[in-house]
Amino acid sequence: MRLMSDMDLCARLTAGDLDALADAYDEHGSYVYGVAVKVTGSQAFAEEITQGVFVALWEQPLSYDPSLGSLRGWLVSRALHESALRSKVG
């Protein structure tokens, strides 16, 4: 399977292509989850954070701008932010 560019993936997400979300998760989900586990120390919190990051991507695909960096970087940044908030609360 050819990995598509972040711009192509973003265009598909913006068009409402649910398979694009699955492709993004398949390509980046383990990184997002790994960051969340390391920061929170909790698999359960990491699962919630990972789900939230990808739900946010689906609901607001235009919040990611491919000209500002990679999709993986954007997703991991969101995971770090959410993980840090969760660590302060939990």
The pLDDT tens digits of the residues spanning 1-51 come to 345 688 899 999 999 999 999 999 999 999 999 999 999 999 999 999 999
- Could you read off the pLDDT of 39-60 as tens digits, one per residue? 999 999 999 999 999 999 999 9
In the chain, the number of structural domains is: 1
| DSSP calls for the chain | -PPPPHHHHHHHHHTT-HHHHHHHHHHHHHHHHHHHHHHH--HHHHHHHHHHHHHHHHH-GGGS-GGGS-HHHHHHHHHHHHHHHHHHH-
What is the pTM assigned to this prediction?
0.87
Q: Which two tokens stand for residue 82?
A: 């959410």
**Domain membership flag for residue 15:** yes
Cα atoms in the 13 Å half-sphere on the side-chain side of 69: 7
CATH number at residue 42: 1.10.1740.10
Please tell me the predicted confidence (pLDDT) of residue 79.
Answer: 95
- Domain of 41 in residue numbering reads as 6-87
Report yes or no on 1 lying in a domain: no
